[in-house]
Structure 1
Amino acid sequence: MQNIQKSIAQLRDSWKSLRLKWLSLGLAVFAVIFATAAYAQQVQEMDAKATIALLRTTDASYPGKVHLLPATLETTQWGWFNNAQPPVMEIDSGDTVVVETMMHSHNQVVPGKTVDELKKLRTDFPGRGPHTVTGPIYVRDAKPGDVLKVDILRVVPRAYAANFNLPGLFGLFPDRFQNGQVKYLYLDMEQKVAKFTPEIEIPLEPFPGTIGVARAEAGEYSTVPPGPYAGNLDIRDLTAGTTLYIPVFVDGALLWTGDSHAAQGNGEINLTALETAFKELVLNVSVIKGQSLTMPRGETPTDWITIGLDQSLDTALEMAKTETVKFLAEQRSITLEAAAELMPRVSDCRISQVVNRVRGIHCLNPKNPRAARPVDYPTSSNAEYFVTSDRGSDLNQVMANASMAMIQLLQQEKGLSELDAYGLASVQMDCRISKMDAEEKGLSCVLPKSVWVKS
């Protein structure tokens, strides 16, 4: 009997040991299966990314490898920059990207939308910018301290654009303009004009209002204010054939673009330009090592562009002067003191915009070292321009005075409604800084009479 009980106990122990071995084996098999599945998923994801990257490359007569970046809900963000946003594309320095962009608010600003609906898109999403930005694009080998060179090679807008002011919101005169207006305009790219009214044609000079990189700080930031990272600069001179140089703050730079414009005035006073989207924005992107910048710079075929940004135009002007003096000293191998004396004679400074919370001034500095300031600063209307001007110690007030005077002049001389005058000034007025002393600033705002094709 004892032998039988002993045998049963041994069988029980053997069965328990066998079960433990089977359990261990099962767990091991499960772990292998799980790891294999995870690896397979990872490989599948890598293969998918590689496939997408391959399908987004093409043959074209542009420098480097040419990538196609469509504007979809997966490749765009509405109103925010965030340096934690996963890149939608990776490129090498020297590659070209053919970018598509969307209209504001993920393509909700389209013909048929009323001004009240456009206002609701802003008030329902406080803090968020209106812009839809395509990106970010990760540029391999771009590191903090480098400079990203972005050549704008080609710009092709879609068929229409919008200009609007939101009732009682934003713009240079929100309190005065309690009524809003939106105009949708057909962009005639063959004639390169858009009819603002039956009598007025706006010359089209498309450019990206926003090209920028990620800032160093973590978190979500509105697309509205520009900064050292560039972004919403709204510099109308940055058309096809020009270049923007931007300091890099994070690995890969993370490049976005949006806020596409068909035309814009220097000032953009009613809040908007001719807001559109681009079917084709061709950018060649390269990394410059060993050259640091504190602020973005631009380059046109004839000029270098220096930039000042601040909530106050007075401070923005001082920054623009500092950046310009520094640039002239570098360009001409002269002292800062000599550059400061030279600047008023050669640098042509304009009001970029006054509606992006951070206001902008940009200065055009001729590449030709013998060139003087290339423009006039009239104080009264002439055969070529409607002109308003003002002087004072506060450039913000000077800008407001000259802009309101232009609105009233267009009403008096051409019979425009106040809202049409506001919109036309926003897309065509050019505000030039004629005097830039700390004690007194001067501004000459001009609007070409040539836009009237019918009297």
Structure 2
Amino acid sequence: MCSNCDYTIHRAQHHFGWDHSIPPAERVVPGSTVFFECLDSGAGHFTLDSTVADVSALDFDKVNPVTGPIYIDGAEPGDALKITIDGFEPSGFGWTANIPGFGLLADQFKDPALTLWSYDKTSMAPALFSSHGKVPLKPFAGEIGLAPAEPGRHSVVPPRRVGGNLDIRDLTAGTVLYLPVEVPGALFSVGDTHAAQGDGEVCGTAIESQMNVALKFEVVKGANLRMPRFTTAGPVTNHLDSRGYEVTTGVGPDLMEGARAAVSNMIDLLGQQHGLSAVEAYMLCSVCGDLRISEIVDMPNWVVSFYFPRVVFE
């Protein structure tokens, strides 16, 4: 529990779709710090006793629950909500799954797979991936956003201009996020907490892990922000830079196909170098590897690179 927080929003106060008609769980004043009890993206479906059979039993109508919403006094359409991420309270348990039909390489990985993670929630030391390596941890919330102005219930799966399923791993402690307000009170919610994720989340899941998060809210009047933006408190990659990277590429006229090729080539490389099965390498790429656009001006071909941190195996 956050001793310095002004309000607590309990995990029972969650929802599975963005909708500005959902009554707020709390009304807060600007400058308040709020403690959110969040659920993981599977809404508690997976436990330490789960097996791969539980992947197929996942209810997609109940994924990515978000805690909230809260109403911030004075926030109006055209303003921006300034959210300072104060910190996370991790649970120590997480999961990563290959879910059939989901992910960048869904056509190649059609069978379910599941990895369960146990990590020290106090030290946040790198988490063991089977017997192969250790993944550095960096908690953040995948879902963080506001209610859209458009009426009705909107899926929590795609990101939007008001936030939502952004899955940006650098929205971690110390980061300040700005979101465009479309409805009175902003109606903020948060969830889908992760212990670690690579840029791209290529298999569709990160280290999905239940966590609580403390956030401070302020209103920037008349910001007229078109899309989310954020400011980091310091370096964002040095937790993985210490041993360098293995890098594979995809080259061609289509960025999506380039991304697929770069990841496929890394899966092959990790199998050759470390004896991982293809699906193990795919899930590991999702939790700690980074997709980057290296070149997008030398037509007709672009270059997408996939960076895998060598520190995982050293």
TM-score, reference length from structure 2: 0.92
DSSP 3-state at the match of 1:433: strand
Match of 1:81 among 13, 18, 28: 18
DSSP 3-state at the match of 2:76: coil
Matched positions, count: 308
Match of 1:175 among 93, 98, 107: 107
Q: Residues 90 and 210 of structure 2 are in contact (CA less than 8 Å); yes or no, is this contact kept in structure 1?
A: yes
1:452 aligned partner: 313
How far the C-alpha of 1:431 sits from its partner, in A, is 1.5
1:268 aligned partner: 201
How far the C-alpha of 1:448 sits from its partner, in A, is 1.1
**Counterpart of 1:391 in structure 2: which amino acid?**
V
CA distance in 1, matches of 2:278, 2:3: 50
**Counterpart of 2:294 in structure 1: which amino acid?**
S
Which protein has the larger Cα radius of gyration, Structure 1 or Structure 2? 1
**Counterpart of 1:271 in structure 2: which amino acid?**
G
DSSP 3-state at the match of 1:443: strand
Structure 1 alignment gaps of length 5 or more? 1-55, 304-363, 365-373, 376-382
Match of 2:213 among 246, 271, 281: 281
CA distance in 2, matches of 1:175, 1:398: 15
Higher relative contact order (CA 8 A, sep 6+): 2
CA distance in 2, matches of 1:226, 1:114: 30
Distance 1:431 1:106, change over 3 A: closer
Q: Residues 180 and 419 of structure 1 are in contact (CA less than 8 Å); yes or no, is this contact kept in structure 2?
A: no
How far the C-alpha of 1:82 sits from its partner, in A, is 1.3
CA distance in 2, matches of 1:110, 1:157: 15
Measured on the aligned residues, the alpha-carbon RMSD in Å equals 2.0
Match of 2:10 among 42, 45, 70: 70
How far the C-alpha of 1:105 sits from its partner, in A, is 4.1
Distance 1:431 1:104, change over 3 A: closer
How far the C-alpha of 1:100 sits from its partner, in A, is 1.0
DSSP 3-state at the match of 1:179: coil
Match of 1:390 among 237, 240, 250: 250
Match of 1:139 among 72, 82, 94: 72
How far the C-alpha of 1:70 sits from its partner, in A, is 1.8
2:154 aligned partner: 221
CA distance in 1, matches of 2:306, 2:202: 12
How far the C-alpha of 1:272 sits from its partner, in A, is 0.3
CA distance in 1, matches of 2:255, 2:205: 21
Q: State how 1:47-446 maps to structure 2 within 5 Å.
A: 60=4, 66-72=6-12, 75-77=13-15, 79-122=16-59, 125=60, 128=61, 130-166=63-99, 168-189=100-121, 190-278=123-211, 280-302=212-234, 384-437=244-297, 439-446=300-307
DSSP 3-state at the match of 2:144: strand
Q: Residues 67 and 97 of structure 1 are in contact (CA less than 8 Å); yes or no, is this contact kept in structure 2?
A: yes
CA distance in 2, matches of 1:118, 1:248: 36
Q: Residues 129 and 224 of structure 1 are in contact (CA less than 8 Å); yes or no, is this contact kept in structure 2?
A: no
CA distance in 2, matches of 1:220, 1:119: 25
**Counterpart of 1:100 in structure 2: which amino acid?**
E
How far the C-alpha of 1:204 sits from its partner, in A, is 0.5
Write out per-residue CA displacement over residues 157-194 of structure 1, whole angstroms, 9 at most, x where no aligned residue: 1110001111x321111221122111111122315211
Which one has a larger percent strand, Structure 1 or Structure 2?
A: 2
DSSP 3-state at the match of 1:424: helix
CA distance in 2, matches of 1:99, 1:225: 22
CA distance in 2, matches of 1:269, 1:449: 18
TM-score, reference length from structure 1: 0.65
Structure 2 alignment gaps of length 5 or more? none
